[in-house]
Amino acid sequence: MRNVQTNEIPKAPIFAINRLRMGTDGPGVTTLVAFMGCPLKCKYCLNPQCHQPIYEEDGTTLRDGVMMLTPQELYDMVKIDNIYFQATGGGICFGGGEPTLYPQFIEEFKNLCGNRWKITLETSGRCSYRTYKRLSNVVDYWIVDVKSIHSSIYKEYTGNISGVLQHLYCLKGLVDDKSKVTIKVPYIPGFNDNDDIDKDIEKIKKRYGFMNVVKTKYIIK
């Protein structure tokens, strides 16, 4: 995937901007902004379009449904809901795909909206400590889908070696208010069961101090 983060004005490929969401992507009324790209190859990916090429074969024409935006351009598009964000304590939820691929973009966007809007990150948590540290300065709420903390299940399901426990350790050290972190532990048909999930939840609570650990279920298409 082409790296669009530079020292100049950053641009990011976005495949969805979903307005007026309530109760699913952080507090208050939110707009979900979905980035292209993800390092995982989950068997039941909820947004498989994030793995599609950004450009047509000519390398310059964006594929249908993909927008290449600067933070200012995105801000100008979503500010229509400013009154709802401020009235409800909501704002923007960056998801995807994997939003931690675009830390510079998110930082620049936060500079534009300031503290008037809350920034939520919906992520698999698969990124470096350096990226966690950068984003911890601008992200208000975290929603982390860990898939599984069992390394064998994680690798079979995502196609990647697990780093979940290390990632949770990073987050634990960087976020003082643990109530602003929600950890999702999904039921993944064919990969885990309720006993696996309950053990994961108990371990995450005891070892890392996150209390908002919830059981979810993937929608299999």
Cβ(44)–Cβ(34) under 8 Å? no
pLDDT of residue 221: 62
Burial class, 4, CB count within 10 angstroms (exposed 0-12 / middle 13-18 / buried 19+): middle
What residues pair up with 184 in beta bridges, in sequence order? 145, 214
Q: Output the CA angle 103-108-112, nearest 5 degrees.
A: 145
Q: Give me the residue spans of the domains in the chain.
A: 12-217
Residue 163: asked if its preceding bond is cis (omega within 30°), the reply is no
Pick the CATH number of 12-217 from 3.40.50.1100, 3.20.20.70, 1.10.3720.10, 3.40.50.970: 3.20.20.70
Q: Give me the residues of the chain with pLDDT under 50, please.
A: 1-4
pLDDT of residue 2: 45
What are the tens digits of pLDDT across the range 52-72? 999 999 999 999 999 999 999
User: Which DSSP helix (H) or strand (E) runs through 73?
Assistant: helix 71-78
pLDDT of residue 103: 97
User: Which DSSP helix (H) or strand (E) runs through 32?
Assistant: strand 29-35
